[in-house]
Amino acid sequence: MKTKVDFPTINQKDPDGRRPDGSSYRVLVVDDSMFVTKQIGQILTSEGFEVVATAGDGEQGVEKYKELFPNVDLVTMDITMPKMDGVTALEKIMEFDKNAKVVMISALGKQDLVKQSLLLGAKNYIVKPLDRTKVLERVVSSLQ
């Protein structure tokens, strides 16, 4: 028997990166590794997020946040970076905007710094190696 109708779409789901009105959540990616920046960018844009800017160190990250504000919804922040580390950058961003949503990106073994970041106001953290599910889950929950 041949079916003439398409299978019904089940579990239809809107992309995680879009608001109910269809506009994209805007993300600033702060990381000194080109590889990680690209990886986060690919994961987020595939779900409809917009990466509005990237920064290669903490200092630049804080500057970019101030420049973009209020047109930025979320920051992903690497912990170990040259010039200014991610925890200091987080602190400076929180001083500037106490409602900032920052997700820390950490290598394993930085529990103390992750803890410190959460106390300083980071919404969540992701331990590398990054995978799609982990990144989306943490980012989405931070936006809610």
Partner 1 sequence: MRVEYINPFVEAAYNVLTEVLATEVKRGNLFLKSATKPVMGVAAIVGLAGEVEGRVLFDMSKQTAIKIASVMNMEELTEIDDLVKATISELANMITAQAVTKLHELGFKFDLTPPALITGDNMEISDQEVEALIVPMESPHGNIEINVAVRERS
Least distance to partner 1, CB of residue 83, Å: 13
Whichever of 60 and 101 has its CB closer to partner 1, that residue is 60
Whichever of 71 and 133 has its CB closer to partner 1, that residue is 133
Least distance to partner 1, CB of residue 107, Å: 4
Least distance to partner 1, CB of residue 79, Å: 11
Whichever of 33 and 63 has its CB closer to partner 1, that residue is 33
Closest CA to 49 of 22, 77, 25, 19: 25
Closest CA to 94 of 69, 112, 71: 69
13 CB neighbour count, 10 Å cutoff: 6
The residues that touch partner 1, with contacts defined as CB under 8 A, are 33-36, 38-39, 42, 80, 107-110, 128-129, 131
For residues 22 and 6, give the distance between their C-alpha atoms in angstroms, rounded to a whole number.
Answer: 26
Whichever of 7 and 35 has its CB closer to partner 1, that residue is 35
Least distance to partner 1, CB of residue 66, Å: 27
Whichever of 14 and 34 has its CB closer to partner 1, that residue is 34
Closest CA to 76 of 92, 97, 99, 100: 100
Least distance to partner 1, CB of residue 33, Å: 5
- Buried-state track 78-116, b at ≥16 Cβ within 10 A, e below 16: bbbbeebbbbbbbbbbbeebeebbbbbbbeeebeebbeb
